[in-house]
């Protein structure tokens, strides 16, 4: 047992911090909550790509750095700590590249991985449908074989990254007669193909990051099929373990926490800083405790992946825990701000650029995306605790 980071990892972390500090010094962006999913900044992504920080864990033969998952967690932890606008490359880096490394043909690897590594693939995740949410396997979007093509018809919704995507990762039904888990396949293709229409969905904060995507007889070349036909659902399950595994499930609104601590030190009530009040101290300390517990959960997931195992229950646990924490953080922030907490970004008198307001509303979705907390708990009950289904 050893909880420390290696000297090299500490140096790596410092390198990431130096890079982000320099970005801030140059005023290239402002730290914000949810920047990993809402902060679309192609130039930032390009600079990250130039550092070699996309595909960090992929094998070197595929252009990656062959580094550990703990290393990647260090990188993403710092990105989130600084609230850096990493949305353009986040999905491709987190799960799509890995899936192609794992399931892709040599040709796909040669063609697609460099695209991701250069930070040019802005990927949307085409999973949920109007009638297929937690029960993903009941999806209806069809992919029908026609010569060298699949013809795709149907609709996706809550497509994360959909508003800025140029590529989509799509799960569709390729065998309507097979049991529902066994007739699904995965595709990866450019959204510039004729027949793809994106419609924005405005979320509760007023922002746009997920979308409806319609497919009207979209002709997708067969080479876009990822992995084995009709085995897509099982591939997705594996991918989801990775999708759930990251620090963005704990630190999506971390910039709010830092700003809040600063605010309580600087804001005086009856001549004394808010941070002197026992109730405020206790609330903030409790949040810090919960954050650190979450951090240990996250690093455990990375350690499991470094052992070569899919984190098939650990990431469900860390995500369910982490998103609940983020919601408590946002809620506590509004409580601490009191009447000021209701002011929205851009309003006169708004503290902390409205991060508390934004995060409070935005965090309602954290426990839904990539598996609702209830689905995650079902997974844990079956996979970890081996409780019966009937």
Partner 1 sequence: MDLVLSEEQEMLKKMAHDFLTDKFPKTVVKEIEESEPGYSPESWREMAELGWMGLVFPEKYAGADMSFLDLAVLLEEMGRACLPGPYFSTVILGGLTILDAGSEEQKQEYLPKIASGEAIFTLALTESSARYDAAAIETKAAADNNAFILNGTKLFVPDAHIADYMLVIARTDEKSKGEYGTTIFIVDAKSPGISYTVLKTIANDKLCEVVFDQVSVPKENILGQLNQGWNEVQKIIQRAAVAKCCEMVGCIQQALDMTVDYAKERKQYDRPIGSFQVIQHYCVDMATDVDGTRLSTYQAAWMLSEGLPCTKEVAIAKAWAGEACQRVMALAHQIHGAIGVTIDHDLQYYTRRAKAAEVTFGDANFYREVVAQEMGL
Least spacing, CB of residue 282 vs partner 1, in Å: 5
The alpha carbon dihedral of 294, 297, 303, 304 has a sign of: negative
Q: Does 279 bind partner 1 (CB under 8 A)?
A: no
**Segment contacting partner 1 by CB under 8 A, of 37-45, 82-90, 150-158, 285-293:** 285-293
13 is a site residue for partner 1 (CB under 8 A): no
Distance separating alpha carbons of residues 281 and 259, to the nearest angstrom? 15
Q: Per CB under 8 A, does 265 bind partner 1? A: yes
CA nearest to 333, candidates 246, 382, 247, 260 = 260
* Contact window for partner 1 (CB under 8 A) among 28-36, 124-132, 215-223, 261-269: 261-269
Size of the site for partner 1 (CB under 8 A): 42
By CB under 8 A, is residue 140 in contact with partner 1? no
- Half-sphere exposure (Cβ direction) of 74: Cα atoms closer than 13 Å: 23
Residues 255 and 33 sit within 8 Å (Cβ to Cβ):
yes
Task: By CB under 8 A, tell whether 355 contacts partner 1.
Answer: no
- CB–CB of 329/257 below 8 Å? yes
Binding mask 371-390 for partner 1 (x = CB under 8 A): ---x--xx-xx--xxxxxxx
Q: Which of 151, 237, 293, 334 binds partner 1 (CB under 8 A)?
A: 293
Selected binder of partner 1 within 299, 357, 360, 366 (CB under 8 A)? 299
Pair of tokens at residue 3: 């909880």
| CB closer to partner 1 out of 32 and 264 | 264
Q: How far is the CB of 313 from partner 1 (least distance, A)?
A: 9
**Binding residue for partner 1 (CB under 8 A) from 38, 54, 70, 88?**
70
What is the SS3 assignment for 260?
helix
Selected range binding partner 1 among 37-45, 47-55, 275-283, 357-365, rule: CB under 8 A: 275-283
Ordered DSSP codes for 88-146: HHHHIIIIIHHHHHHH--HHHHHHHHHHHHTT---EEEE--BTTBSS-GGG---EEEEE
Q: Does 303 bind partner 1 (CB under 8 A)?
A: yes
Which residues neighbour 128 within 8 Å (Cβ) at sequence distance 6 or greater?
136, 156, 157, 158, 159
Find, among 180, 307, 283, 297, the residue nearest to 249 by Cα: 297
Using CB under 8 A, which of the segments 83-91, 160-168, 283-291, 333-341 binds partner 1?
283-291
* Element housing 154 (H / E): strand 149-160
Is residue 281 close enough to count as binding partner 1 by CB under 8 A? Answer: yes
What distances in angstroms separate CA 309 from CA 301, 302, 305, one per listed residue? 10, 10, 5
Give residues in contact with partner 1 (CB under 8 A). Answer: 1-5, 70, 261, 264-265, 275, 281-282, 284-286, 288-290, 292-293, 296-297, 299-300, 302-303, 306, 317, 320-321, 374, 377-378, 380-381, 384-390
């Amino acid at each position: 047992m050893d909880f420390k980071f290696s000297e090299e990892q500490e140096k790596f972390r410092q390198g990431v911090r130096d890079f982000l500090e320099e970005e801030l010094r140059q005023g290239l962006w402002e730290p914000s909550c949810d920047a990993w999913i809402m902060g679309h900044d192609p130039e930032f992504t390009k600079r990250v790509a130039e550092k070699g920080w996309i595909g960090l864990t992929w094998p070197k033969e595929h252009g990656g750095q062959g580094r550990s998952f703990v290393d990647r967690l260090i990188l993403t932890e710092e990105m989130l700590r600084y609230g850096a606008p990493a949305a353009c490359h986040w999905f491709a880096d987190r799960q799509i590249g890995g899936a192609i490394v794992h399931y892709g043909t040599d040709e796909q690897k040669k063609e697609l991985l460099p695209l991701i590594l250069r930070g040019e693939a802005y990927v949307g995740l085409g999973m949920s449908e109007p009638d297929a949410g937690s029960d993903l396997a009941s999806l209806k979007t069809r992919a029908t074989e026609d010569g060298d093509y699949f013809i795709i018809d149907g609709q996706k919704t809550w497509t994360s990254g959909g508003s800025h995507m140029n590529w989509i990762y799509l799960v569709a039904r390729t065998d309507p007669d097979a049991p529902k888990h066994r007739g699904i396949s995965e595709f990866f293709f450019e959204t510039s193909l004729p027949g793809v229409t994106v419609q924005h969905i405005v979320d509760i904060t007023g922002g746009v990051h997920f979308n409806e995507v319609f497919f009207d007889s979209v002709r997708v070349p067969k080479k876009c099929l990822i992995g084995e036909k009709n085995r897509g659902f099982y591939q997705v399950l594996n991918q989801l373990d990775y999708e759930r595994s990251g620090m963005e499930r704990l630190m999506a609104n971390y910039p709010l926490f830092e700003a809040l601590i600063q605010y309580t030190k600087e804001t005086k009530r009856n001549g004394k800083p808010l941070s002197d009040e026992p109730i405020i101290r206790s609330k903030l300390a409790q949040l810090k405790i919960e954050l650190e517990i979450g951090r240990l959960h996250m690093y455990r997931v990375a350690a499991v992946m470094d052992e070569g195992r899919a984190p098939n229950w650990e990431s469900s646990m860390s995500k369910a825990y982490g998103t609940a924490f983020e919601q408590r953080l946002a809620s506590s922030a509004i409580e601490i701000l009191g009447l000021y907490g209701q002011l929205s970004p851009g309003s006169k008198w708004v503290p902390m650029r409205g991060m508390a307001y934004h995060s409070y509303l935005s965090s309602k979705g954290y426990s839904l995306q990539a598996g609702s907390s209830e689905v995650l708990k079902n997974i844990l009950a079956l996979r970890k605790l081996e409780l019966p289904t009937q």
